[in-house]
Amino acid sequence: MKEKNIVVGLNQVKKHIRKKSVDSVCVAKDADWSIKLILEEMCKDYEISMNYFPSKYELGKKAGINVPTATVARLI
């Protein structure tokens, strides 16, 4: 992923989904169930693809932020 056109964290991802500026969403499998539920519903409603990463650590590393994160979105 390691791109500049990403947003990290639940609030930022939700904000950009509502703006319809998200291409896809990645969620860590070890994220809290409520985060996964919220994003699954939003992605379904806005017809955005959603992928899972094995862990928050791996997702953060792949996003290039080197800290664990529950969710990352790639912007259009």
Structure tokens at 54: 């094995």
Torsion-angle region of 75 (φ positive above 0: left; ψ -120 to 50: alpha; else: beta): beta
The answer to whether the beta carbons of residues 1 and 61 sit under 8 Å apart is no
Residues whose CB falls within 8 Å of the CB of residue 11, separated by 6 or more in sequence, listed in order: none
Q: Which residues of the chain have pLDDT under 50?
A: 1-2
* Domain assignment of residue 1, yes or no: no
State phi, psi for 4 to the nearest 5 degrees.
-80, -20
- Digit-coded pLDDT (tens) for 44-64: 999 999 999 999 999 999 888
- CA 30 to chain CA mean position, Å: 13
pLDDT for residue 69: 95
Q: Residue 65 maps to which CATH number?
A: 3.30.1330.30
Give how many domains the chain has, as a whole number.
1
